[in-house]
Structure 1
Amino acid sequence: MSPRKQRNLREKERRTRMKHLFIILSSHVSPTHRLPVPQLIDQATSYMIQLKEKVNYLREKKMSLLGAMGNQSDGSSSLLPKLNIYSRDSTIEMNLIMDMNMKRVMLHELISVFEEEGAQVMNANLQNLNDRMIIYTIVGQAMIYWNGIDPSRIEERIRNIIY
């Protein structure tokens, strides 16, 4: 095979490979319809920036939660459990930090409080830290938007469970 034919074959394989990679990227960025390559790259870039910002936000949030636990110089759990509930529009988020030596709380108990108060649980997470602490995180959204969710009622019911 001549050098020119080899070069043409390599270029054809490169184009085919690039086309395949763009199809894969398109399926992740815009799975409903194919976009032209420049638009696809723009959307992929903005999506990556959004993901990076979200990772930074979650990292800062984790550090602030861990910082709250690190303020206990003698290692006691006098400040625990620590319950934070944030509400915005129709979304509510709960973060609960507990010592493992305290009363055991099951994640499904906390989820059922959200559901009974009219929230659809979007995300629920349980994380063990340092074999001492447990972090529960639940994010819910009002099933009926105009009714909203009463954060004080959810907080009261969760406090009854953890104490």
Structure 2
Amino acid sequence: MERARETGEGSSSSLRQQRNLREKERRMRMKHLFSILSSLVSPTRRLPVPQLIDQSVSYMIRLKDKVNYLEEKKRALLGGEVQNRSQGSSLQPKLSIRSRDSTIEMNLVMDVNIKRVLLHELVSVFEQEGAQVMSANLQNLNNRTFYTIIAQAIICRIGIDPSKIEERVMSIIS
């Protein structure tokens, strides 16, 4: 009978040790995950967990707003798509150029069946007009080509003339 108690007591302490070990592993895993979250949200300083969670939530809300903004922008750029499909015609090129301070952003959407425009042709327009291209992107999606170029004036005092860039890009795409 003593042996039964000993093995029973041994197995309960073994279970307790296993439970403690699992809890310790869980705490270590949570600490590691909070560390990763902290490096993403506030890489410069370590925050207490409640502040870290608050900042993470506000960061996620900002990201969600940005996604919504970009989806709206995409819908605006593709606005004529449904109408043109119903008429059976190709999508006409949509060009938008926005300028702010010494930075200019160009978005162009073209149907691949209309004309093929090379990205370097568009980049060269910006460079010839006195801009340094910071980002140039080309993406093909659903028989459309999306061009995005972000540039900055080489000499900020002189700036960039968006109307000249628009005129030259229109001559390339038409």
TM-score, normalised by the number of residues in structure 1: 0.82
Same amino acid, percent of matched pairs? 72
Given that 2:77 and 2:94 are in contact with CA atoms closer than 8 Å, whether structure 1 keeps it comes out as no
Give the direction of change, closer, same or farther, for the CA distance of 1:65–1:44 in structure 2 (3 Å limit): same
Aligned twin of 1:76: 89
Which of 141, 154, 160 pairs up with 2:152?
A: 141
TM-score, normalised by the number of residues in structure 2: 0.78
Shift of 1:144: 4.6
- Tell me the secondary structure at the aligned position of residue 34 of structure 1: coil
Aligned twin of 2:166: 155
CA distance in 2, matches of 1:21, 1:110: 44
User: What is the root-mean-square deviation of aligned Cα atoms in Å?
Assistant: 2.3
CA distance in 1, matches of 2:47, 2:128: 43
Which of 99, 106, 127 pairs up with 1:115?
A: 127
Please state which structure has a larger fraction of its residues in helix. Answer: 2
Consecutive unaligned residues in structure 2, runs of 5 or more = 1-10
Q: How does 1:13-162 map to 2 (within 5 A)?
A: 13-72=25-84, 73-77=86-90, 80-131=92-143, 133-162=144-173
CA distance in 2, matches of 1:134, 1:140: 20
Given that 2:98 and 2:106 are in contact with CA atoms closer than 8 Å, whether structure 1 keeps it comes out as yes
- Tell me the secondary structure at the aligned position of residue 98 of structure 1: strand
Shift of 1:143: 4.5
Shift of 1:162: 1.7
CA distance in 2, matches of 1:33, 1:119: 37
Higher relative contact order (CA 8 A, sep 6+): 1
- Tell me the secondary structure at the aligned position of residue 148 of structure 2: strand
Shift of 1:157: 2.0
Task: Select the structure of larger CA radius of gyration.
Answer: 2
